[in-house]
Structure 1
Amino acid sequence: MTKMKNVLCFGDSNTFGTPPLASLEEARRYDGKTRWPGVMRKILGHAWHVIEEGLPGRTTIRDDLIEGTHKNGRRYLAACLESHRPLDVIVLMLGTNDLKARFSAPPEDIAAGVDILAGIIAATPNLDRPPAKLLIACPPPIRVVGCLGPLFAGGVEKSQALPPLYEAVARKHGAEFLDTGKLIEVSPVDGIHYEAEAHLILGQVFAERVQALGG
């Protein structure tokens, strides 16, 4: 009997499916068919189990003293990996929230956070299966606009500098790399989140890449 393959999607609000926000008071989420992990699930079919681990506000390795230290991806990743193993593919897409002005993190430090997370993934036993294949996705460049603009002041140039740094991290760990900024753009409404059309594109591309990685 063929084993079902498992893919873990570890990310932030754009993995969770938060739509563009007109105000900070909004609390919405795209439905399962619209957000990109759901699009990917439909394409991959019954042979794959898609695990959605998107948390709004999640950073790579930074404690957020305003929104909560649980937003630190490093604090949860090992437990997440162990609770969902065995895993065949992991899609890691983080770094947008590290661009917040409160962190004052240069692009190199954001990429270093991804490097640390990739190291945790590599060090986590995967039960009876080989180590999971890792796909590191660099988020698209942000815009400073709308209700989220003040939170991300000074982040545009930093976000534009991330792709080659992420690619170097992927190369170091023998992981696959995807520059999502070549595929989609953030919404002009809040400069951070994706319109439904962008989720559709991402889901289609991720499905193709995950299927290739999973054999």
Structure 2
Amino acid sequence: MRSLMCFGDSNTHGTMPMAELSDIGRYGRDLRWPGLLARALPGWQVIEEGHPGRTTLHDDPVEGPHRNGLRLLPALLESHRPLDLVILKLGTNDLKGRFSVNATDIALSLEKLIAVIRASGCGPEGAAPAVLLVAPPPILEVGCLAEIFEGGAIKSQALGAALARVAVRAGVPLVDAADHIAVSDLDGIHYDAGAHAALAEVLAQAVRQQFA
């Protein structure tokens, strides 16, 4: 059986749209996209590594350095090896005002994570795992998260195109989630259950096509 790791943030974790900052609801495995992906890909072991607040490579001065994806990625690759595939879906939390980065900065950060995956030797027989890059959909500045992501909505509109350029340079397939789903109107960041289902279907198709 082949294995893939879903490396992402709260939308990989399955965090529900939030009415208040204190909300910590999480969809069950049968509703969040990695769990649905596992059901759609019976020949694959799907490993869920979604962490709310995870950034590409920034230590979060408010939520803690453990949110830094670059810090955690090497250990997770080694822990779960051999990995045939890593689905890399990050970038939304980098849009928080506290990080002061633009879409190109975020894309370059994801390009660095791709390089780490390829240099890891954590694929079968010490090879590099394959990478499937996912561009998150644009965000909205609404609800309880609006101030935290102030200025991020306009930046997020350019993220898909910036990641498309990274995908070409790195030679990896890209799924632009904006072509298939949108964020919830409740908090402008997280996905409803229907979006999780749609994303799982699209990613399952991409895995079958690219990694048959």
Tell me the distance in 1 between the aligned counterparts of 2:94 and 2:126.
Answer: 33
Structure 1 residue 214: deviation in Å? Answer: 2.5
Aligned pairs (5 A) from 1:10-159: 10-45=7-42, 47-125=43-121, 126-128=123-125, 130-159=127-156
Q: Does 1:165 align with 2:170?
A: no
Letter of the aligned partner of 2:83 in structure 1?
A: L
- Is the 1:133–1:213 Cα contact (8 Å) retained in structure 2? no
Q: Secondary structure at the match of 2:146?
A: helix
Structure 1 residue 131: deviation in Å? Answer: 2.4
Tell me the distance in 2 between the aligned counterparts of 1:69 and 1:129.
Answer: 29
Gaps of at least 5 residues in structure 1 are: none
Structure 1 residue 127: deviation in Å? Answer: 4.6
**Correspondence for 2:184:** 187
- Is the 1:78–1:120 Cα contact (8 Å) retained in structure 2? yes
- Is the 2:84–2:124 Cα contact (8 Å) retained in structure 1? no
Q: Secondary structure at the match of 1:9?
A: strand
* 1:91-135 deviation digits (Å, cap 9, x = unpaired): 101000000011111111111110110110110102516422211
Letter of the aligned partner of 1:19 in structure 2?
A: M
Tell me the distance in 2 between the aligned counterparts of 1:129 and 1:6.
Answer: 14
Structure 1 residue 211: deviation in Å? Answer: 2.2
* 1:133-153 deviation digits (Å, cap 9, x = unpaired): 211100000000000011000
Gaps of at least 5 residues in structure 2 are: none
Tell me the distance in 2 between the aligned counterparts of 1:90 and 1:111.
Answer: 17
Identity within the alignment, %: 48
- Is the 2:4–2:84 Cα contact (8 Å) retained in structure 1? yes
Letter of the aligned partner of 1:171 in structure 2?
A: V
Letter of the aligned partner of 2:165 in structure 1?
A: A
Tell me the distance in 1 between the aligned counterparts of 2:211 and 2:81.
Answer: 15
Tell me the distance in 2 between the aligned counterparts of 1:7 and 1:90.
Answer: 5
Tell me the distance in 1 between the aligned counterparts of 2:124 and 2:30.
Answer: 31
Structure 1 residue 210: deviation in Å? Answer: 1.4
**Correspondence for 1:201:** 198
Tell me the distance in 1 between the aligned counterparts of 2:135 and 2:86.
Answer: 14
Letter of the aligned partner of 2:154 in structure 1?
A: E
Letter of the aligned partner of 1:51 in structure 2?
A: I
How many pairs were matched up?
Answer: 211
- Is the 1:21–1:147 Cα contact (8 Å) retained in structure 2? yes
Tell me the distance in 1 between the aligned counterparts of 2:130 and 2:17.
Answer: 31
